[in-house]
Structure 1
Amino acid sequence: MQFAMLRWVVQIIEVAGGRWTIWYEDVGRWNAFAVIGFTAIAGLALLGTLIVTTSRRGGLKSPWSQRRRKKSLLLRQWKNLFTSDGKLRDSVTFLKNVRSGGVDHDIRHEVWPFLLGIYDLNSSDVERNRIGKQKRKEYKNLRKKCRNFFKAGDINGVKIKDAVIGSRESNDGCISFMPENELEAKQSISIEGEQSDDPEKLLLDSDIGIVEKENSDITHVDTKSLDSDSEEEFPVIYTPTVEETELQNVKISHKRDSSKIAEDFTIWQRIIRLDAIRANGEWITYSPSQAAISEGIAYKHAEEVGLKDYKHLQPCRIFHAARLVAVLEAYTVYDSEIGYCQGMSDLLAPIISVMEEDHEAFWCFVGFMSKARHNFRLDEVGIQRQLKIVSRIIKFKDAHLYNHLEMLQAQDCFFVYRMVVVLFRRELTFAQTLTMWEAMWADQAAIRAGIGKSWGLIRLRAPPTEDLLLYAIAASVLQKRKTIIERSISMDEIISECNSMAGQLDEWKLLDDAYDLVVRFHHKIS
């Protein structure tokens, strides 16, 4: 037979312990050498694959970009995360799920208070109910103070001239002391939309607004290491909890003279109302219940906060504007050192579209602003620190691009000023913004909870960082490196290029690339 000519015959094929075992006749040493040879070839092929994959990471092609994106956290999964007394079973798994897939829109109103530190990750139902009642009462007292300030203040008699002497006025609503080219970048965060015809529009005849007169000597809360264990794989720098930050803010605010706060409040109040009227309606499709609000209810809320010139708006947008006014006014009283600056309404709008109770929206905003408040400091120390981090990331990742920026005297990365101040709100769509912010909040929640070593097991081993958004901003610039190098010959052109990113970005690709940058450079940046 033909098989006999091959000089080897399969003598026995049997199944032993679930594995096929084969004996060959008349194979001898040839079979042994063949097995070794094939094994060596397979090993070399595997090594080559690893080398290629590793080299790709240098080009900002994160392995996450090649995998199927996880689904967002759903209601059923969310409910299964809790014990019978309402405590989270596994906060690490919860935060990782949010980080890698986001949150389903239907449960965001339940999840966000955990991410923003309103509720502790280890809290029970009973504790959260108690905290909820307390927060509602505190918000009610803040709104009462707002009404008292409004009654006591002479809006038409407020003098603001002294607030702008020796300063440069910018149309983002903040007093500025910066060079011309930097001012131009900062002006790009100004509120877009229809201008109000209110005769009391505060110095906005030429798109110029003055927001606040504040003491720039704001005390920073000292940070220290949360965990002294030197064996921790990813050391986490301690930052104050939301509760600690709130206490610090309240102490600062209470030190200020109440008459000075009342005077500032009347200024902030006017600009808040203007910004609220001009807020866009991008949120409407994501909040059906608020979109269906009746005209009567909308008008009632508008009158309660003293809103003017709103009848040209849809009822839902009037209602939205009234809620913006109520929450932002309360925040200026709560944190009078920061007060109000244009751009804050951009950060609050997504929150009130998700949180339907004003007191819940307010405290979520407080949690958000515990990190973002430094974006609105008059001395801009917080902004400068963040721009410096973006610059360093770009320098470490792409020396060629950084050298080009140096040649244009743009290495300070002021062209991403708008992205930093309003946290990508203008560059991403409404839905993309929420996904990006949730990933950022998940990292911040992990750090608050002291999660470090266990988080190191996450894919790509990217540790939680307070600066995830800055890595994403750097990634967006790196994605445009070719255009910037070949076409940009001035700071103005780079600013234009960055502003043109609006609506063109993929939030998951940004996060993929941001995590890749965290893996590679977090030890140099932190």
Structure 2
Amino acid sequence: MWRDPGQPADSYYQVRPECTDVPKSKFKIKAGKTLSSRKWQAAFTPEGYLDISKTLGRIYRGGIHPSIRGEVWEFLLSCYDPKSTFDERDQIRQRRRVQYARWKEECRQIFPVVGSGKFITAPVITEDGQPIQEPLVILETTQDGGPSQDGNSAEIGNSNASATNQSRTNTSCSEMVKQLTSHGPLDKKVTQWMLTLHQIGLDVHRTDRTLVFYEKQENLSKLWDILSVYAWIDTDVGYCQGMSDLCSPMIVLLEDEADAFCIRLLLNILVVHLYCIEVDDKRGNFRCTERSVGVETQLSNLAEITQVIDPKLHQHLDALGGGDYLFAFRMLMVLFRREFSFCDSLYLWEMMWALEYDPDLFSVYEEPELNGEKGEGSKGRAKSIRHYGKFERENMKNGAANSEGPLPMSVFLVASVLKDKSSKLLHEARGLDDVVKVSLVI
């Protein structure tokens, strides 16, 4: 029987030619298995209602075709209710774009580099809120080119008029910091936010830099803008290292910056749901206290699972000082973004999201201003168990919805990696460095 060998998907996420050590993607687009554009369009009724159950089944059998991945992800991330119409979703989309524009303008008024097509990688204020006038800071906030981007800075401002306007905007940046501090100490929220801006820039500068997509300054600045705006509106957590890895695919897949801001939903919805955090305790992976980090619960669960499925491996890891499983921190924190190729990590994400899909999350986490303005036709529609992902359905059937919630698939996935590498770890790992080298090469 003839079988489709599949079409490589690497061509959709081109790698810079000089980056020769990038792993090749194993994911292939297979006819009849991968969710295609035709199947995706056929899943909607004329009014716009989506048959989510059939869609989920196709996704966890063969993934999503890269050409439609962005719009499908918006449903997997609960940006929209599958039982809404085209018109209802358009209204929600426009409201969200307007709201994002307002948040971004708030940030721009404080620090004009936001929205200027540039970003910074040097601190602009001290911890006590005083402006920093170091050469690199002045260069980044006053020159048209911004941070060096491998010769691509010339892409900003193609016309004389735009270059002039850019220069005027950027020249005012350092002056704005002076003006803000001239009236007394900065507001605590403003100070904390401005202290994170260069940290975001440093992470943006090294996130997915093997991709041709990020050779363009405008895409790097878009990633910086989104993360800066998120840090501004989320005063509880702000920005944490690793968020750029989660946000980057949104920039690649969704052309409109406001739509790509579904990173907010990824952090406020997905991470909460998958990482067993209470509804009012948002952004579980990135929530830290003086005594713990958000991912600590997952590491503890991983230790318990490994102890059950492979006691010898657990004892070996414990003897090496790895009983806390911190070597798996990165895999869980950024959902395997750095262990797989770009394409394969996206495939892994959508597989997990489809299997763990919960249709109730849209109504639970939808912005308050939208809750009271939804069309009447989208309210009160019953959801059958078919509308949930396969993994989520099993959790419901088994009564796993306890006070802590079911374990996320990502924990089981790491456990399976360790189990698969067990023999090699037992024979080759003589220290935690060896554990990291062996277990993180997937």
Superposition TM-score tier, normalisation by shorter sequence: 0.5 to 0.7
Cα distance between partner residues in 2 of 1:486 and 1:408: 13
Cα distance between partner residues in 2 of 1:69 and 1:80: 16
User: SS of 2:68's equivalent?
Assistant: helix
Tell me which residue corresponds to 2:264: 366
Counterpart of 1:277 (choices 195, 205, 213) is 205
Tell me which residue corresponds to 2:72: 111
Tell me which residue corresponds to 2:234: 335
Change beyond 3 A, Cα 1:157–1:140: closer
Change beyond 3 A, Cα 1:424–1:200: farther
C-alpha deviations, 1:123-163, integer Å up to 9, x for none? 1111101100110011001101111221699x97733289x
Given the alignment of the two structures, is residue 318 of structure 1 paired with residue 279 of structure 2, yes or no?
A: no
Counterpart of 2:39 (choices 74, 77, 83) is 77
Given the alignment of the two structures, is residue 356 of structure 1 paired with residue 255 of structure 2, yes or no?
A: yes
User: SS of 1:114's equivalent?
Assistant: helix
Cα distance between partner residues in 1 of 2:99 and 2:109: 16
Cα distance between partner residues in 1 of 2:359 and 2:301: 19
Q: 1:324: how far off?
A: 0.7
Given the alignment of the two structures, is residue 260 of structure 1 paired with residue 260 of structure 2, yes or no?
A: no
Cα distance between partner residues in 2 of 1:265 and 1:157: 11
The one-letter code matched in structure 2 to 1:399 is P
Counterpart of 2:416 (choices 470, 475, 482) is 475
Cα distance between partner residues in 2 of 1:457 and 1:386: 21
Tell me which residue corresponds to 2:430: 489
Cα distance between partner residues in 1 of 2:257 and 2:388: 37
CA contact (8 A) 1:70 1:100 kept: no
Q: 1:412: how far off?
A: 1.9
Give the percent of matched residue pairs that are identical in Structure 1 and Structure 2: 29
Structure 1 moving runs of 4+ over 6 Å: 449-452
User: SS of 1:277's equivalent?
Assistant: helix
What is the TM-score normalised by the length of structure 2? 0.64
Change beyond 3 A, Cα 1:445–1:259: farther
CA contact (8 A) 2:306 2:314 kept: yes
Cα distance between partner residues in 2 of 1:354 and 1:157: 31
Q: 1:111: how far off?
A: 0.7
User: SS of 1:477's equivalent?
Assistant: helix
Given the alignment of the two structures, is residue 414 of structure 1 paired with residue 342 of structure 2, yes or no?
A: no
The one-letter code matched in structure 2 to 1:366 is R
Change beyond 3 A, Cα 1:447–1:401: farther
RMSD: 3.4
Cα distance between partner residues in 2 of 1:200 and 1:444: 47
Cα distance between partner residues in 2 of 1:462 and 1:411: 30
Cα distance between partner residues in 2 of 1:374 and 1:492: 27
Which of these two proteins has the greater Rg computed from alpha carbons?
A: 1
User: SS of 2:358's equivalent?
Assistant: helix
Cα distance between partner residues in 2 of 1:98 and 1:269: 37
C-alpha deviations, 1:386-415, integer Å up to 9, x for none? 111211221221122122223223222111
The one-letter code matched in structure 1 to 2:200 is I
Deviation larger for 421-430 or 406-415: 406-415
User: SS of 1:426's equivalent?
Assistant: coil
Tell me which residue corresponds to 1:424: 336
Cα distance between partner residues in 2 of 1:452 and 1:399: 40
C-alpha deviations, 1:460-486, integer Å up to 9, x for none? x96586611121111111111001111
Cα distance between partner residues in 2 of 1:452 and 1:473: 31
Q: 1:351: how far off?
A: 1.2
The one-letter code matched in structure 2 to 1:480 is K
Cα distance between partner residues in 2 of 1:457 and 1:128: 22
The one-letter code matched in structure 1 to 2:315 is N
Counterpart of 2:126 (choices 125, 135, 159) is 159
Deviation larger for 332-341 or 487-496: 487-496
CA contact (8 A) 1:455 1:463 kept: no
C-alpha deviations, 1:169-227, integer Å up to 9, x for none? xxxxxxxxxxxxxxxxxxxxxxxxxxxx94689xxxxxxxxxxxxxxxxxxxxxxxxxx
What is the TM-score normalised by the length of structure 1? 0.54
Cα distance between partner residues in 2 of 1:447 and 1:114: 9
User: SS of 2:98's equivalent?
Assistant: helix
Change beyond 3 A, Cα 1:452–1:408: farther
CA contact (8 A) 1:282 1:430 kept: no
Change beyond 3 A, Cα 1:390–1:258: farther
Change beyond 3 A, Cα 1:427–1:139: same
CA contact (8 A) 2:356 2:388 kept: no
Counterpart of 1:146 (choices 90, 100, 107) is 107
CA contact (8 A) 1:408 1:491 kept: yes
Q: 1:496: how far off?
A: 2.6
Counterpart of 1:440 (choices 352, 357, 363) is 352
Tell me which residue corresponds to 1:94: 55
Cα distance between partner residues in 2 of 1:345 and 1:472: 22
User: SS of 1:427's equivalent?
Assistant: coil
CA contact (8 A) 1:443 1:466 kept: no
Given the alignment of the two structures, is residue 137 of structure 1 paired with residue 98 of structure 2, yes or no?
A: yes
The one-letter code matched in structure 2 to 1:365 is I
Change beyond 3 A, Cα 1:268–1:80: same
User: SS of 2:48's equivalent?
Assistant: coil
CA contact (8 A) 1:456 1:463 kept: no
